[in-house]
Amino acid sequence: MTSPTRRTLLKAGGAIAGFALAPRIAFAQSDRIESLIAKMTLAEKAGQLSCFGDAIRPPRIPFNPNAVSSNAAKQLADIKAGRIGMLFNGVGVSGARRAQKTAIEQSRLKIPLVFAGDVIHGLATVFPIPIAEAGSFDPDLAMRTARAAALETTAVGMHWTFAPMVDVARDERWGRVAEGSGEDTYLGQQMAIARVRGFQGSDPTDPSRVAACPKHFAAYGAVAAGMEYNTVDISMETLREIHLPPFKAAFDAGALTTMSAFNDLDGVPASGNHWLLTELLRDQWHFRGLVVSDYTADEELIAHGYAADGRDAAKKAFTAGVDMSMQSGLYNKWLPDLVEKGEVAEALVDASVRRVLTLKEQLGLFDNPYRSMDYAREKTQVAMPATRALSRESGARSIVLLKNDGDLLPLGKAPGKIALIGPFGDDKANLAGPWAFMADETIGVDIASGIRARLADPAALTVVKGSEVEKPIAGGIDAAVAAAKAVDLVILAIGEDQGMSGEDQSRVAIVVPPAQQALAEAVAAAGKPVIVLLKHGRALALSGAVKQAPAILACWFLGSETGNAVADVLFGAVNPSAKLSASFPNYSGQEPYFYDHRPTGRPAPDEGDQAYKARYRETKNEAMYPFGHGLSYTRFTLSDLQVDRELAWDGSLAASALLTNVGKRAGTEVVQLYIHDRVASRTRPVRELKGFQRVTLAPGGTQRVRFTLKRQDLQFWGEHGWTVEPGAFDLWIATSSVGGLRGSFDLARA
Ligand code: NOJ
């Protein structure tokens, strides 16, 4: 393999559309696989369909409930006995070699193991959490960070990542919004495609690439009330239009595997759902890859009340379409018996075993069982300077400038004395964000270090904690206020810690924790200009002094280079260009809030009498900062909208507008195309994103930004499936999901 250089990792790799569309992935019949299946006992078949957390090289930080306890000796014995097909979440070449050597030298059939792991936004070098990176509206960037993550993942003995998480999530109370691409389906599709390609490349046998696993199939992002693991009750329209398209896009991009979700779906748990995993996934979509259950999701059919016991759960999950059972051990325990008693067809077991072995073959493991287990790469290709530079670039490109009254930002060369106040100022423990359990903490750059490195006089920066994340510090506020009074400028680094989002971290109120809100109020009262740097894994409902601060940057969790990325934006080395991938509501109680809601029969008018209109007592149902919003240090204007009057049934429609940089700096704007179907046989969203482009302009520069639409872009799920109805459509070319230039067109009849 050619060693990636700084150039290959950092250069923009061209438009996603230009990427090889047909990855070299073989699903052809394999004599090697067939002859193995012919030799396998039922127990060995069940073994290939079973995977477990890696006990030979357990993760430093434990996570996932400990369902089946194991130890290295027991696991090695199980590998020898052919009872394990895959191990996950273990890091390190030497442990991987040890396990693999046992499989290929001591097990009867010498079938190699495959090693998987949750590499969601980087491994040792951590990139921004996916919800943040999606805000770059730059699939090429997402592809490059996924590629870089694959490089580190394969340098430490893994072949398969449980990513990308492509669940569209529209309720910010749910902690796992952090792992996805936000509230919009179209953006989610683009990011899903980019990440699959970044992980897998065009040739998965390449030992620097990993198999991708778009998850969690399906509709986990729609858990009721944003409560983790909750039930999903969903219309077919919403499932088909909102939640499934990113999966379909990821599969079409060549994703080799998927993971069945924890949640139930209209009364049938996803991991026991024959319609979902077989009729839709296999029969309609022709997905040929491997379905692995989420962690003990097969066993959880019992708690769902969908299976009577472990045997019943194994039978229901397997016959629904879960090929591989994660962590419960139920397939090892029950599949042979179920086949022997005639309750599960052996041919069905063979089909699943074939998928596991095909994945191993696609990854090149039969020919090269020690692929991605190279001691030299483990030393040289983890946390490389080029990868860290990409972390910094993606970090700065993920920061959203929510507000910048009076052009307080960027800071000049001599910003005077600064007080950096809040629990995240010099904190290194919350740089990575959720799902970065293999982060190399020694390379993390905190905010204080990033800022200090920019100051001519590093002593001009005072750092005061002021508060813990969720509880006050005795005397903390007094110290912070005193510091604020003594300086020219306050930077408040506040928000959520990384344990407050991710799996198992739903919140009822998506606010800055009260202890920090109190700190912000007291510090703001000191009267100095305040810049808020928010740390968060979800969109937040801001209030009081935080909301009123003249400048607010949504910084999410940016990863290893947080401090440098933040300083790049604060001091203007990088002109912010990210947009929100998830709307910030005015109140937590508006959740689930998303821009592409359907109209009601009584929409609230922009101005005037609101009585008997769709709204809350306290607020209109609009966002504080909507999806697609994000400012720049320069100003852009859009003008001269041109839209074809008609879209012919088999034709394409051109829409364009002039973007001009009317400010004094070079900058990048994300120009967004939205549509609305005025009258249809189903109520249609008030707006839907259908395209976006990042355009970089010098001061005074102008460019016509062109989009095309086809009939297929206007389709929706109607009474008889996908449909497009002729008639009038509204169209906007805009810089946010609110406002913009508005036009219209007609879709002509066939
Ligand atoms: C449970 C999570 O839901 C899933 O995303 C993850 O991949 C597995 N645990 C394995 O760690």
DSSP calls for 99-146: HHHIIIIISSS-PPPEEEE--SSBSSSBPPPHHHHHTT--HHHHHHHH
Whether residue 522 contacts residue 491, with contact meaning beta carbons closer than 8 Å, is answered with: no
What is the position in ligand 1's atom list of the atom closest to the CA of 262? Answer: 3
Of all protein residues, the one whose alpha carbon is nearest to atom 1 of ligand 1 is: 295
Whether residue 736 contacts residue 628, with contact meaning beta carbons closer than 8 Å, is answered with: yes
Chain segment 136-152, per-residue pLDDT in tens: 999 999 999 999 999 99
Tokens 């041919």 found at: 347
Tokens 């946390």 found at: 383
Instruction: Indicate if the pLDDT at residue 700 is higher than 70.
Output: yes
Predicted confidence band of residue 538 (pLDDT cuts 50, 70, 90): very high
Whether residue 170 contacts residue 592, with contact meaning beta carbons closer than 8 Å, is answered with: yes
Whether residue 168 contacts residue 596, with contact meaning beta carbons closer than 8 Å, is answered with: no
Q: What are phi and psi of 338, to 5 degrees?
A: -60, -35
5: how many CB neighbours lie within 10 A of its CB? 11
Q: Decide: 503 in ligand 1 pocket, CB within 6 A.
A: yes
Instruction: Indicate if the pLDDT at residue 479 is higher than 60.
Output: yes
Whether residue 254 contacts residue 200, with contact meaning beta carbons closer than 8 Å, is answered with: yes
CA of 304 to the centre of ligand 1 (A): 18
Question: Six-digit token pair at 330?
Answer: 């139920």
- Of 184-198, 255-269, 294-308, 604-618, the one with minimum mean pLDDT is 604-618
301: how many CB neighbours lie within 10 A of its CB? 30
Name the residue of 118, 119, 223, 328 whose CB sits within 8 Å of the most ligand 1 atoms, as the mutation to test its pocket.
118
Q: How far apart are CA 327 and CA 296, in angstroms?
A: 6
3-state DSSP of 460-477: HEEEECCECCCCECCCHH
Annotation: CATH topology of 399-577:
Rossmann fold (3.40.50)
Of all helices (H) and strands (E), which one includes residue 720?
none
Alpha-carbon dihedral 99, 437, 243, 114, rounded to 10 degrees: -10
Task: Tell me the residue type at 561.
Answer: E
Q: How far apart are CA 431 and CA 564, in angstroms?
A: 12
Is the domain covering 6-379 a CATH 3.20.20.220 domain? no
Nearest CA to 355 out of 427, 256, 441, 425 is that of 256
Instruction: Indicate if the pLDDT at residue 134 is higher than 70.
Output: yes
Q: How far apart are CA 166 and CA 581, in angstroms?
A: 13
SS3 of residue 253 by DSSP? coil
Instruction: Indicate if the pLDDT at residue 436 is higher than 70.
Output: yes
What are the domain boundaries of the chain?
A: 6-379, 399-577, 636-747
Q: How far apart are CA 114 and CA 491, in angstroms?
A: 47
Nearest CA to 572 out of 551, 587, 586 is that of 551
| Mean pLDDT, the chain, integer | 95
> Mean pLDDT throughout 219-223?
98
Question: Six-digit token pair at 508?
Answer: 């009822």
Q: How far apart are CA 684 and CA 598, in angstroms?
A: 6
Beta bridge partners of 652: 710
CA of 233 to the centre of ligand 1 (A): 22
Predicted confidence band of residue 435 (pLDDT cuts 50, 70, 90): confident
DSSP annotation of 98 reads: H
Asked whether the bond before 304 is cis by omega within 30 degrees of 0, the reply is no
Q: How far is CA 344 from CA 88, 303, 319, 331, 347, in A?
A: 27, 22, 7, 12, 9
Q: Decide: 300 in ligand 1 pocket, CB within 6 A.
A: no
**What pLDDT, on a 0 to 100 scale, did the predictor assign at position 63?**
74
DSSP annotation of 176 reads: G
Under CATH, which number does the domain 636-747 receive? 2.60.40.10
| Strands of 627-687, DSSP E | 636-643, 646-647, 652-661, 667-677
> Mean pLDDT throughout 242-260?
98
Q: How far apart are CA 287 and CA 276, in angstroms?
A: 12
Tokens 């690439």 found at: 209
**What pLDDT, on a 0 to 100 scale, did the predictor assign at position 60?**
77
Predicted confidence band of residue 422 (pLDDT cuts 50, 70, 90): very high
Whether residue 666 contacts residue 575, with contact meaning beta carbons closer than 8 Å, is answered with: yes
> Mean pLDDT throughout 77-104?
97
Instruction: Indicate if the pLDDT at residue 66 is higher than 70.
Output: no
Q: Is the pTM of this model over 0.85?
A: yes
Tokens 């799902």 found at: 435
Q: How far apart are CA 45 and CA 84, in angstroms?
A: 10
CA of 259 to the centre of ligand 1 (A): 9
Task: Tell me the residue type at 253.
Answer: A
Alpha-carbon dihedral 56, 89, 67, 72, rounded to 10 degrees: 0
What is the position in ligand 1's atom list of the atom closest to the CA of 179? Answer: 5
Q: What is the CA radius of gyration of the chain?
A: 26
State the helix-helix crossing angle for 139-155 and 385-398, rounded to 10 degrees: 150
What is the position in ligand 1's atom list of the atom closest to the CA of 162? Answer: 7
Name the residue of 66, 68, 89, 162 whose CB sits within 8 Å of the most ligand 1 atoms, as the mutation to test its pocket.
162
274: how many CB neighbours lie within 10 A of its CB? 13
CA of 670 to the centre of ligand 1 (A): 33
Question: Six-digit token pair at 188?
Answer: 């989610």
**What pLDDT, on a 0 to 100 scale, did the predictor assign at position 9?**
53
Q: What are phi and psi of 622, to 5 degrees?
A: -130, 170
**What pLDDT, on a 0 to 100 scale, did the predictor assign at position 58?**
85
Which one from 264, 294, 440, 596 is the annotated catalytic residue? 294
Of all protein residues, the one whose alpha carbon is nearest to atom 9 of ligand 1 is: 295
269: how many CB neighbours lie within 10 A of its CB? 28
Is 568 a known active-site residue? Answer: no
Question: Six-digit token pair at 373?
Answer: 């287990």
Q: How far apart are CA 623 and CA 619, in angstroms?
A: 10
Whether residue 335 contacts residue 362, with contact meaning beta carbons closer than 8 Å, is answered with: no
- Terminal-residue alpha carbon distance, the chain: 52
Instruction: Indicate if the pLDDT at residue 39 is higher than 90.
Output: yes
Name the residue of 217, 258, 503 whose CB sits within 8 Å of the most ligand 1 atoms, as the mutation to test its pocket.
503
Task: List the 325-326 sheet strands across, edge first.
Answer: 160-161, 114-117, 86-88, 50-53, 325-326
Tokens 């014995």 found at: 77
Q: How far apart are CA 495 and CA 613, in angstroms?
A: 34
Work out whether the CA dihedral 550, 394, 15, 627 comes out positive or negative.
Answer: negative
Question: Six-digit token pair at 39?
Answer: 């030799």
Q: Decide: 162 in ligand 1 pocket, CB within 6 A.
A: yes
Which carries the bigger pLDDT value, residue 596 or residue 70?
596
Instruction: Indicate if the pLDDT at residue 194 is higher than 70.
Output: yes
Strands 721-723 and 716-718: antiparallel
Predicted confidence band of residue 26 (pLDDT cuts 50, 70, 90): low
**Helices (DSSP H) in 225-381: which residue ranges?**
236-238, 245-252, 274, 301-304, 310-320, 330-340, 346-362, 375-380
Q: Decide: 160 in ligand 1 pocket, CB within 6 A.
A: no
> Mean pLDDT throughout 459-467?
98
**What pLDDT, on a 0 to 100 scale, did the predictor assign at position 468?**
98
SS3 of residue 250 by DSSP? helix
Q: Decide: 183 in ligand 1 pocket, CB within 6 A.
A: no
Chain segment 3-20, per-residue pLDDT in tens: 444 444 544 333 333 333
Beta bridge partners of 445: none
Whether residue 585 contacts residue 539, with contact meaning beta carbons closer than 8 Å, is answered with: yes
% of the chain beyond a pLDDT of 70: 96
Task: Name, in order, each residue with C-beta under 8 angstroms of 22's C-beta and a sequence gap of 6 or more.
Answer: 202
Q: How far apart are CA 511 and CA 265, in angstroms?
A: 29
> Mean pLDDT throughout 366-373?
98
Nearest CA to 372 out of 123, 193, 605, 602 is that of 123
Chain segment 650-688, per-residue pLDDT in tens: 999 999 999 999 999 999 999 999 999 999 999 999 999
Q: Decide: 295 in ligand 1 pocket, CB within 6 A.
A: yes
Of all protein residues, the one whose alpha carbon is nearest to atom 8 of ligand 1 is: 295
> Mean pLDDT throughout 183-211?
97
What is the position in ligand 1's atom list of the atom closest to the CA of 63? Answer: 11
Chain segment 274-303, per-residue pLDDT in tens: 999 999 999 999 999 999 999 999 999 999
Query: Residues, the chain, total?
Result: 750
Of all helices (H) and strands (E), which one includes residue 550?
none
Work out whether the CA dihedral 491, 495, 499, 502 comes out positive or negative.
Answer: negative
